[in-house]
């Protein structure tokens, strides 16, 4: 396998990764052959996999627009992947160019490309970080240099906590982010969930992800809602990503119960 010129030397290009698989699903090009092959395996088992990814991305855009409308001007996007294709800073800064965004991802490829994309941008940056270590993220000088935690912040955990096993306490991760932000801040997340009528498809997809560097851990709606314990849940609660404040252009979109969305506000 030939290493692309843009791939850092420390990256094992023989192991697929969720961030790069997601990039490929969205039509990006910051991915390896092994990532593309794994996506095609997923699509063969679940033909709607790409539509699920696009629906999740659309939810992210709607959530960011709504939070900016509610006065939020700072976003901490953890597990962001590669910041291309209608990313948070593009959406937020269309409304307010002064909005600030810090992207955080564990994948060096995502970070390396994020830095190239955001080079010279005064209000958006990216850093290497692990969602399982919230305190290290919020205390990092790159984060505190851009994000003011004395003002409201929206922490975005979009399609990332389903890569965190129960042993790493995803609820505790959210609680630590909640503790780090001031009242009036938000935590928004989307999370994979097994639709009861297609549970065998979910099991098949999960088995594919077990062969990547980022195994999948699907959770029920009740479990996902419980991750935001202590926050005021924004209406309509825990719903399929397609049902969270759909916009007129979303009319007729097929529901995507495979990924659920929920947003909470810190009182």
User: Beta strand pairing status for 239-240 and 259-265?
Assistant: antiparallel
* Beta bridge mates, 192: 259
Determine how β-strand 232-233 pairs with β-strand 124-128.
Answer: unpaired
Instruction: Quote the pLDDT of residue 205.
Output: 53
pLDDT at 48: 75
59: which residues sit within 8 A by CB, 6+ positions away?
158, 190, 241, 242, 244, 259, 261
Give the mean pLDDT per block of 10 residues along the chain (267 residues): 63 74 77 85 76 90 97 97 86 97 91 85 96 97 97 97 95 98 98 71 53 74 97 98 91 85 98
Tokens of 115: 């830095």
């Amino acid at each position: 396998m030939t290493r692309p010129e843009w791939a850092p030397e420390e990256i094992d290009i023989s192991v697929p990764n969720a961030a790069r698989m997601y990039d490929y699903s969205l039509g990006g090009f910051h991915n390896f052959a092994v990532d593309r092959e794994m996506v095609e395996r997923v699509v063969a088992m679940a033909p709607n996999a790409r539509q699920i990814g696009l629906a999740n991305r659309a939810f992210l855009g709607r959530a960011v627009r709504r939070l900016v409308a509610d006065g939020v001007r700072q976003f901490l996007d953890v597990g962001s992947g590669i910041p291309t294709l209608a990313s948070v800073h593009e959406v937020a800064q269309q409304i307010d160019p002064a909005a600030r965004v810090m992207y955080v991802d564990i994948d060096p490829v995502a970070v390396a490309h994020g830095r190239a994309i955001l080079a010279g941008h005064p209000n958006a940056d990216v850093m290497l970080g692990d969602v399982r270590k919230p305190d290290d993220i919020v205390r990092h000088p790159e984060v505190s240099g851009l994000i003011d935690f004395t003002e409201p912040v929206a922490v975005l955990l979009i399609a990332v906590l389903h890569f965190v096993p129960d042993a790493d306490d995803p609820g505790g991760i959210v609680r630590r982010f909640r503790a780090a932000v001031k009242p009036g801040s938000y935590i928004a997340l989307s999370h994979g969930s097994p639709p009861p009528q297609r549970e065998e498809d979910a099991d098949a997809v999960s088995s594919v992800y077990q062969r990547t560097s980022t195994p999948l851990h699907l959770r029920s709606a009740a479990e996902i809602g419980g991750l935001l314990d202590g926050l005021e849940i924004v209406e309509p609660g825990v719903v399929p990503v397609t049902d969270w404040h759909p916009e007129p252009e979303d009319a007729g979109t097929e529901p995507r119960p495979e990924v659920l969305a929920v947003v909470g506000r810190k009182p």
